Amino acid sequence: MEIQEEKYNILKLDPDQLESFLIQHGFKKFRASQINNWIWNKKIIDPDKMTNIPAEIRNYINPDQGLPLIKKVNNSDPEAVLILVELQDKNLIEMVIIDKENHYTLCVSTGVGCPLKCKFCATGKMPYKRQLTSFEIIWQMWLAQHYLISQGEFKNIRNVVMMGMGEPFLDPQGAVHAAQWLADKRSLNMGQRRITISTAGVVPGINYMAKINRQFRLAVSLNAVSDRMRRELMPVNKKWNLDKLLGAVRHYVEATNRAVTFEYVMLKSINDQPEHAAQLIKLIRGIKCKVNLIPYNQAVEYFQPPTPDNLDRFQNKLKKAGVETTVRLSSGKNIKAGCGQLAGEF
Ligand code: SF4
């Protein structure tokens, strides 16, 4: 069904598109910053409340038309809020607000499901429908901020990580457009370094990040130390093996002079042994990076988290070799909001 112009929804336009739209329709450019102020600073999208916006422009503001909506919230975990979001086409995605004491981090989804089908991931088990548009990605931020305000919470969402459902680099331009929109001074004005795009190893996306050379952070979900192991855990390795993946990462680091974060989901008796740590050290030698060890959050029965001893031993070995290493204990795993646990329903 074609959208009639009178129902055109300028809430879905990025700052450049909004300015162009207004100019093309005979309005002054400064109206764009007034509208952005209502949307992003005041979190108001009801045109009737936008008192300084002329009625002719307000006709193009249609909050009832096609915006993602919060369907369900699970806030029973003190460290994380799991939110189910319904998209215009009724598809469901999840996002997670993670409480970091003095601020929040928002983990957003970029796909309805994910075709990469990593063996340990709940999202990979659900049917893949489609990628999200950049608007659907950034609107998760608006919904999260609006939700927190409605709860009387004024702590900031300081970081956004594209680590929810989906692989951002199946549409690198869309993911980067969303990141730029979040960072745009005219909308949310987030620091670029506060936005992380995480990939399972889609090389063209890494190359795209190298080419555009912005300050967004890049995280690469590595999880294995040999092609055989990685192919079994992450079928994406059949297309881009470790050689190609790490080649792209090295190129990215050289081109941008920025460090990369390697995510390493630790799976008991699969990739958590001292020899795996030794192989990992060898694999990433010379790459400006940090390693984030993530003890597995139960999502698929077959896999288990490492024992605390194995985790310690692994981390110490990396540290001894001079690799900056942190352990990320996922918040919200009790409500299935942890890394790899999102399944588009709860
Ligand atoms: S881990 Fe990421 S890339 Fe792999 S299936 Fe899950 S969402 Fe997709």
**137-153 residue pLDDT tens:** 999 999 999 999 999 98
- Which of 245, 327, 316, 257 has the alpha carbon at shortest distance from 291? 327
Distance 221 CA to ligand 1 centre (A): 9
ipTM of the complex: 0.99
Q: What is the mean pLDDT of residues 290-316?
A: 93
Q: 157: how many CB neighbours lie within 10 A of its CB? A: 19
Whether 94 is catalytic is yes
Mean pLDDT, the chain, whole residue set: 94
Q: Answer yes or no: is the C-beta of 136 below 6 A from any ligand 1 atom.
A: no
Task: Look up residue 128 and give its two tokens.
Answer: 């893949």
339 catalytic residue (yes or no): yes
For residues 93 and 329, which has the higher predicted lDDT (pLDDT)? 93
Above pLDDT 70, what percent of the chain?
98
Rounded CA-CA distance 199/205 in Å is: 8
Q: Which residues pair with 264 in a beta bridge?
A: 293
Q: Which of 94, 136, 167, 263 is catalytic?
A: 94
* Cβ neighbourhood burial of 33 (10 Å; 0-12, 13-18, 19+): middle
- Residue 75 CA to ligand 1 center (angstroms) comes to 24
Q: Are 238 and 229 in contact (CB under 8 A)?
A: no
The domains of the chain, with CATH numbers, are 5-58 (1.10.150.530), 85-335 (3.20.20.70)
Task: Report how far ligand 1's centroid is from the alpha carbon of 118 (Å).
Answer: 5
Note the pLDDT tens digit of each residue in 189-203: 999 999 999 999 999
* Residue 202 Cβ contacting ligand 1 at under 6 Å: no
Atom of ligand 1 nearest to the CA of 122: 6
Residues in the chain, total: 346
